[in-house]
Amino acid sequence: MVERSGLDRPRGDAPGAASALALPGDGEAARLAVLRALTQQPHLSQRALSEALGLSLGKTHYVLHALLDKGQVKVRNFRRSEKKLSYAYVLTPSGIAEKFRLTMRFLARKEAEFEELQKTIAALRLELLREHAVPASAAGEAHQAREAKR
């Protein structure tokens, strides 16, 4: 069984999607997802990698070869059995730096989204208080009850 990257979420019929990263710039989300997956499991085949990330096989092939062309990933051959040769995809120092850069961009974006979400929640609570005359303690208690369940 292939471990999931932790950064994906369901999208349509796909088991998961690198698009959950939602980074600005074409392909950054897929590149980060591929780099993270290869760090955890360098012996994944392209098909297993595409299934784990919820990307098409063609998109996975394209991203992987772009990383290879940029020198961010190297291919190493190894024998899985006497008759079968397989590959391991290893991040180069450049690939590790790219993974770091993309991760920092991802975190900055998610932190900004989190701050906006907190503002929206605060505004909705205030709206409840003003428009529906819900006592402040009731709105706070409901929030505390939800937090306690986590």
**Across residues 124-149, what is the average pLDDT?**
76
pLDDT reported for residue 135:
62
How does pLDDT run across 79-122, given as a tens digit for each residue?
A: 766 666 788 999 999 999 999 999 999 999 999 999 999 999 99
For residue 134, tell me if it sits in a domain: no
- For 25-38, letters b (16+ CB in 10 Å) and e give eeebbbbbbbbbbb
pLDDT reported for residue 21:
47
pLDDT reported for residue 87:
85
Rounded (5°) CA angle 45-50-53: 125
For residue 10, tell me if it sits in a domain: no
Question: What CATH code is carried by the domain that includes residue 75?
Answer: 1.10.10.10
DSSP string, 24-79: SSTTHHHHHHHHHHHHH-TT--HHHHHHHHT--HHHHHHHHHHHHHTTSEEEEEEE
More confident call, 62 vs 79: 62
For residue 42, tell me if it sits in a domain: yes
More confident call, 102 vs 143: 102
Q: How many domains in the chain? A: 1
Domain holding 47, by residue range, is 18-107
For residue 67, tell me if it sits in a domain: yes
For residue 66, tell me if it sits in a domain: yes
As beta bridge partners, residue 90 has 74
The residue among 32, 82, 83 whose CA lies nearest residue 53 is 32
For the chain, the farthest-separated pair of C-alpha atoms sits apart, in whole angstroms, at 75
For residue 140, tell me if it sits in a domain: no
**What backbone phi and psi angles, to 5 degrees, belong to 9?**
-145, 160
**Across residues 51-59, what is the average pLDDT?**
93
pLDDT of 133 > 90? The answer is no
Reported confidence tier of residue 5, pLDDT bands at 50, 70, 90: very low
pLDDT reported for residue 14:
40
pLDDT reported for residue 40:
96
**What backbone phi and psi angles, to 5 degrees, belong to 79?**
-100, 125
Cα 40 from Cα 59, distance rounded (Å)? 20
pLDDT of 66 > 90? The answer is yes
Highest mean pLDDT (candidates 18-22, 75-79, 100-104): 100-104
Helix (H, G, I), strand (E, B) or coil at 21: helix
pLDDT reported for residue 23:
39
Query: 1 Cβ partners below 8 Å, 6+ apart?
Result: none
